Structures are given as C-alpha cells and as structure tokens.
Amino acid sequence: MNSEVIGNLTIRRAESFAAAQQQAMEEALNTLGQVIPVILFRQGNRVNLSGAMTFGMVSQLLYSRSAKQRDTIEGVVATTNRPEDKKHSDEIADYILANRKSKYYLGTLSLNIQEPLTLYTSKAESKMQLAYLVLPKTARISITDGQHRQSAIKKALDRLPPDQLQEFASESISVLITCEMDISQIHQDFADASKTKPLPPSLLAVYDMRNPANRVVIELERNVALFRGRIDSTSKTLSKNSSLLYTANQLRQFVKVFLTGSWQMGSVDFEKTAHDLLDVEEGVFERELGKAIEFVNYLAERIPVWRQIAHLPAGGTTAAQIRDLRQEGYVCLTAVGLVIIARIGHELFKVDGTDWQPYAGRLAALDWRNSGQIWQGNVVSGGRIISQQALMRVAVDRVRAAIDLAKLGEVAEPAEGDAAAVEHQPEDA
C-alpha cells in the first residue's frame, strides 16, 4: 500500500476502492472511530475533502473558537471564528424546527482538521476520487465557516423531545474539509468564504416562498396592471433613471404594512405574523390577496399619475415615461408613498364590512406631487423625500385627517427615534 503525508493527513492508497473501504473500516473498529465517505480533490496546492456529517456528529465532533465581543487584535488573532451572534443561531434553529417535517436548506460547513488523520483511497490516478476518512472517537474538527449553523443544530437537538431526537440526529449536512495547520491561512479561508455576495432583498422577496407574504407580492405583480412588468426583482434600489416603477422589496414593504399596519416589523417577526395571518385556514390567503388587489386597482384608476402609468404598455420605449414622471417628483412613486398608502389601506380593511371606497376615493384625490402642501414639513423637505419614522407618522396623520378617516382601533406604530425601515430611491444607484 502506498502512503503519502500531506500536512497532518496521511493518504493510504489500496489496490481498489473496495480494499480502501475495508481497511478504513478496520482502523475505525480498532480506534472506536467512524468512517466518512468523501470525495478527494485539490484546489491549488491543497487537498480538500467533500462529504456529509450527521447532525449527531456535527454536535459532538465539531468545535469553534469564537472571538469575544470587543476583544483586542491579539485576542481575535488567536481564534478562528467571529463572535457568535446567539440571536442568529436561535433564528436558524427556529427555521430548522419549523421546516424539519417538510423541506429546509442548510449550506455547507467549512471545516479544518488540525490533528493527524488517515484517509484511504485507491491507487487509481485521478484529480478527483472517492476516499474514506477515519475519524477516531477523540477527533476534534474545527469550524472555519458555519459556527452559527452548528450552534443552531445543537440547539435544535436540545429542544426536541426524546422520541424525535434520534431521527433528527441522523439527518446530515454537507461538509468541506481542509487540512490546514497555519492559523493565518485559516483566517484567510474564513475571509474568503465570507466574500459571497448576499442576495438583494428584492430577489429574496421573489425566491423565498416560506413567507406567504412573498406569494402576495408575486400575485400583486401578476394581477395589478400598475405593477405588471414594472417591478425590479434583482436590484436593491432604483435610480431616478430607471424605467421600472418599484423594487420587489418595496412592494413587499407595501404588503407588510397592508397586512400588519407596521413598517418597522423585522423580517423574522413579519414571517411569523404572515403565517399567522395567511396560513390559518383554507381561503384566507386568497381573501387577503383579493383585498390588496382590489384596493390597488381602485387607486390605480383614480390617482392620475398611477392611472397614466397603469395604461402604458409594459416595456418598450414608452416605459421611459415612468423615468420622466419620477423625475417630476411624486410621493406615490416612492417607497415612502407606498407605505403611506398601505397604512391607510390596512386601517380601511382591518374591520370586515367597512365601506372603504369613499375613503380610498378621497385618498386618490390628494395632491401626490412632491410639492403638495400635505407633504411639506414631513416626508418632503426641499423637494426631497425623507423616510424618517416620526415624519412618516405625521404624514399618515395628515392623510387620515384629509380623507376624514377616524381611527378604526389602535394599530401598533413604530416608536419615535427608531431607525427607518423603508427603502427609498437614492439620487443615483
């Protein structure tokens, strides 16, 4: 049998893959260890192993060395992971437990081996080949990237009753294992792993169907002429020169406020609330979607600038008119205006049987230009849109008074001084 030592990994090459498997099993038996089938491959001058570990193994064998909050450079250099955000770990654990009976996704863990281990494979010459990694009972494998996923798995295991624990512990997650002794290179690997560009909120609003409110976003785009073919689903913001009307995330903000009355609510709380509101019984989703479609279509026939846009052909050269109208300055063509309209819509529809159309008619008749008197001193200053929470509350109060809308019960509003949660168009993008 040929042997090759790379760092702390000894690679033993047998006559065949079957022989390699047998020899790996024999070593594991004698060391009370476990065998993990992996794919052996190289990136640059480094050997990597790709495979999967059960959640039980992830809980027991993996460890992280997390930096402490407000630690010194010297302290951080001695660790291999950023400080753990326990709230983030809890969120992942909640996500796993909420979806473990259906489908969920956990990304690959990046691991590093810093103790001597043995890998068995065949003598076949290949850049990528099957191999068997022997993990002794005492093996400890450090986490390069994925400490929050591991922490979440451990928390999920702790929360499950005994009759469900074994089944969950046997589920698995993919792992990428490197053999790196140099801690500075481990730090570099973590930094490199963090370079992945996150999905923009607008793309998440289209892709993430676990939140039923995102299905409302898609159906609104399909069923409202004002929105159809005019929603940017890939960008974080719109520039003044965009010929599209809103981003998908801005439309999601509209849905959030229309359903809940709050523009401050965070994503995790909104997802839970959306499930409570839309998934409670058959027909609720369709009923609430119908309210939103009817409300926007009603306004789109009565707010002059919305009506003008709604009757434009989607795409083509006429779409440039949206850019020109945006540059003229209309509150209702911004995320702030969408939120104000959604808030009024929430109050109109929160009590079944409300005669909402007279109020919506007066809402449409407001002067929605940036120069309109109703917006001065609140969400418009010097012709520019301001998205501060306190100013938006003032704008909503003025709109209520202007359309003779008495409060239909108390609705939670953002507290003064909280950071704005409304996405709006910048001067340039």
pLDDT at 117 over 90: no
pLDDT at 268 over 70: yes
On whether the CB atoms of residues 41 and 130 are closer than 8 A, the answer is: no
Determine the Cα–Cα distance for residues 429 and 425; give it in Å rounded to an integer: 8
Q: How confident is the model at residue 419 (pLDDT cuts 50, 70, 90)?
A: very low
Q: How confident is the model at residue 8 (pLDDT cuts 50, 70, 90)?
A: confident
On whether the CB atoms of residues 213 and 278 are closer than 8 A, the answer is: yes
Q: In which region does residue 70 sit, left (phi positive, over 0), alpha (psi from -120 to 50) or beta (all else)?
A: left
pLDDT at 428: 33
pLDDT at 235: 79
What does the mean pLDDT of the chain come to?
A: 83
Give the pLDDT confidence of 242-265 residue by residue, as tens digits: 888 998 889 999 999 999 998 888
Q: How confident is the model at residue 40 (pLDDT cuts 50, 70, 90)?
A: very high
On whether the CB atoms of residues 119 and 129 are closer than 8 A, the answer is: no
CA angle, 318 as apex, 316 and 322 as ends, to 5°? 115
CA distances from 174 to 12, 38, 120, 150 (A): 24, 10, 20, 12
Q: Residue written as tokens 């969920």?
A: 104
What value does the mean pLDDT take over residues 308-316? Answer: 84
User: pTM above the 0.75 mark?
Assistant: no
What value does the mean pLDDT take over residues 123-140? Answer: 86
pLDDT at 427 over 90: no
Higher pLDDT, 341 or 213: 341
Q: DSSP letter for 226, please.
A: T
Sign of CA dihedral 247, 249, 255, 260: negative
Domain locations along the chain: 2-193, 201-402
Cross-strand partners of 231: 246
Task: With CA atoms as reference, report the closest residue to 51 among 41, 61, 60.
Answer: 41
Q: Is 29 exposed, middle or buried (0-12, 13-18, 19+ CB in 10 A)?
A: exposed
Determine the Cα–Cα distance for residues 350 and 341; give it in Å rounded to an integer: 14
pLDDT at 423 over 80: no
Catalogue the long-range contacts made by 300-306 (C-beta closer than 8 Å, 24 or more residues apart): 300/224, 300/225, 300/226, 302/360, 302/361, 302/364, 302/365, 303/332, 303/364, 303/368, 304/368, 305/330, 305/332, 305/333, 305/368, 306/226, 306/332
Higher pLDDT, 98 or 113: 98
What value does the mean pLDDT take over residues 66-84? Answer: 58
Q: To the nearest whole percent, how much of the chain has pLDDT over 90?
A: 45
SS3 assignment for 49-69:
EEEEEEHHHHHHHEECCECCC
pLDDT at 192: 65
Q: How confident is the model at residue 143 (pLDDT cuts 50, 70, 90)?
A: confident
pLDDT at 42: 87
Sign of CA dihedral 202, 208, 210, 215: positive
Lowest mean pLDDT among 137-141, 184-188, 320-324, 409-413: 409-413
Give the pLDDT confidence of 366-400 residue by residue, as tens digits: 999 999 999 999 999 988 999 888 999 999 999 99
